Amino acid sequence: MEIQNAQSNEKILGIRREIAAKTGLKNMATKKVCFVSVDVEDDRNHPLKPLHQRTWEGVENLEKILNVFDNHNIPATLFVTGQALERFPELAKQWSKKYEIASHSFAHNFLNTMSKDEREQDLEDYINVYKKIFKKMPCGFRAPSHIIDKEQMKLLENKGFLYDSSIVPRFPFFIKYRGYRKKAPLTPYYPSRSNCRKKGDMKILEIPVSGLVLGVPLWGSFLRYIPFATYKDLFKVRAPMFICLTMHSWDSVFFRGIKSKNCGNRFVKILDKMIYFLKTKNYKFMNGENIVKAFKIDKA
Ligand SMILES: [Zn+2]
């Protein structure tokens, strides 16, 4: 029996190594990787509301989520809008002591509604406010609502960004989502210049926002709605080599109305439980910067 177990463990390890080699994350051959991120923006993002009417409780109380990361001693990337950085520079400096701060665009406008000039201006505005606070360039980018295309990818590459994390490679077929286009690789990859949903020779790394079987995401709103037992079952079907645990700053804030189930402190508890569970499943938690470094080392 023991010999059998040892053999099957060896086999699983071999398969993992093989997958890891294919994904470019060889150093993590024995560990599955979980990219942890938070989109930090105004509450439930209201781009049509004038700026002065928006609320920022999620940003002001971000420590509710960060305390969970802290307690588990895990890294994370915070994709913060330029508007949030402008409004809360001191808070952002505090977060940056432990967490990577990356771009969630300046004004959180959907890229498909913007001209090339407007996109460039938005990136310029972002880089300016970021440099003013952190005295360096941002490394990563996530598009609002995950709407991204090859033009934006080229713009990001030209501006010196090292990675993008916008592409949703799978999505539950029964839900329509503006941020999901077509299938894409499920693990980090260098995109093609002609189609950013395919592998190619661009210098910028795509860290896809990968979920579980059938594309079920590990996103804040899904975590609040899907029973924990269902998630456990999904991991029994397949525990992917690469997953992305992501949420919004406002998931931890209590609000009423549509999509409010399990918001506030309940969400914080679910998050804590999920991270604990992922640890038992042997996931290694990483932020974007570290994935870029690991990818480069492994590719060398
Ligand atoms: Zn957003």
Q: What is the chain's mean pLDDT, rounded?
A: 90
Give yes or no for residue 148 having a pLDDT over 60: yes
Q: 168 C-alpha to center of ligand 1: Å?
A: 14
Mean pLDDT of 132-138: 98
- What's the gap in Å between 116 CA and the centre of ligand 1? 20
d(CA 219, ligand 1 centre) in Å: 12
Measured in Å, residue 252 CA sits from the centre of ligand 1 at: 15
Q: What is the dihedral of CA 263, 177, 102, 299, to 10 degrees?
A: 120
Separation of alpha carbons 253 and 212, rounded Å: 26
Domain boundaries, the chain: 15-299
More confident residue, 165 or 255: 165
**Separation CA 114–CA 241 (nearest Å):** 35
Q: What pLDDT, in 10s, does the model give residues 228-249? A: 999 999 999 999 999 999 999 9
| SS3 at position 267 | helix
Residue ranges of the alpha helices (H) in the chain? 2-23, 57-60, 63-72, 82-87, 89-96, 116-134, 150-159, 220-225, 228-237, 265-280, 288-299
Q: What's the gap in Å between 159 CA and the centre of ligand 1?
A: 21
Of 99, 40, 35, 53, whose CA–CA distance to 251 is shortest?
A: 40
pLDDT at 2: 47
More confident residue, 112 or 46: 112
66 C-alpha to ligand 1 centroid (Å)? 18
At 57-96, the pLDDT tens digits run 999 999 999 999 999 999 999 999 999 999 999 999 999 9
The domain defined by 15-299 carries CATH number 3.20.20.370: yes
Whole-number Å distance between alpha carbons of 108 and 111: 9
Ligand 1 centroid–CA 108 distance in Å is 6
Residue 176: phi and psi, rounded to 5, are: -90, 135
Mean pLDDT of all residues in 3-21? 52
pTM for the full predicted model: 0.89
- Give the SS3 label for residue 162: coil
Q: What integer pLDDT is reported at residue 27 of this predicted model?
A: 53
